[in-house]
Amino acid sequence: MYTEEDIYVMFRKAQSIFASRPYKLPKDFNSFMLNRMSKINRETLIIVTKWFNSKWKNINPLNFFGYGFDLMGKKFTYRHFFDNRVHNYYITRDKIKKRDLEITQKQINSSVDFIQEYMSNRKNHLFPFGYGTAILKLME
């Protein structure tokens, strides 16, 4: 479960990664949230925290904020958390990230060895409908 402070820290971290500069956190987050944050930002932070704990449980907040900064630059603020462009960009980037596979030469060689072994074992079995002779000729 994320707290408002966790979400704020992740937002500031994504902001600092985008800007390539360090970030400072308030010593007392509760007083900062009550006294220094604007009412709109405070309410948005509370709503976003609830959503990351329920509706957006499968979304990584740090990646989400990072993609928001990639998309909108330094103009990405609290009010852009619910922007559909950010959500769609996160979904496409997440799909690309999940599809990105690294195939090594070792994996390719093991796959080819398995196929050759499987096909050599199939020579001993009878193929129905006369297809066996054509396949055996192709394997040789």
- Res 92: pLDDT: 93
Same domain? 24 vs 68: yes
pLDDT in tens, 24-36: 999 999 999 999 9
Residue 77 · residue 37 · CB < 8 Å: no
- Both 81 and 112 in one domain: the answer is no
Whether residue 131 is predicted with pLDDT greater than 90 in this model: the reply is: no
Tokens of 125: 């079995």
Domain count across the chain: 2
Asked if 88 and 115 sit in the same domain, the reply is no
> Are 89 and 109 found together in one domain?
no
- Shared-domain flag, residues 85 and 34: yes
Q: Are residues 32 and 89 in the same domain?
A: yes
- Shared-domain flag, residues 111 and 77: no
Q: Are residues 11 and 67 in the same domain?
A: yes
CA distance 89 to 59: 12
* Mean predicted confidence (pLDDT) in 78-99: 90
Q: Average pLDDT of the chain?
A: 86
Q: Quote the CA–CA distance of 94 and 140 in Å, as a whole number.
A: 45
Which residue range forms the structural domain that includes residue 94? 4-99
Same domain, 125 and 73: no
Which two structure tokens, joined as six digits, stand for 126?
Answer: 């009878």
Tokens, residue 14: 């994504």
Residue type, 114: F
Is there a single domain that holds both residue 109 and residue 128? yes
φ/ψ region of 37 (left if φ > 0, alpha if ψ in -120 to 50, else beta) reads beta
Count CB atoms within 10 A of the CB of residue 89: 17
Looking at the fold, whether 128 and 88 belong to one and the same domain comes out as: no
Per-residue pLDDT at 64: 95
Q: What angle do CA 6, 46, 92 make, to 5 degrees?
A: 70
| Statement to judge: residues 24 and 80 lie in one domain | yes
User: Angle at Cα 106 formed by Cα 104 and Cα 112, nearest 5°?
Assistant: 110
16, 108, 109, 112, 126 from 139: Cα distances, Å: 59, 19, 18, 14, 15
The contacts of residue 114 (CB under 8 Å, 6+ apart) are: none
Residue 133 has pLDDT above 60, yes or no: no
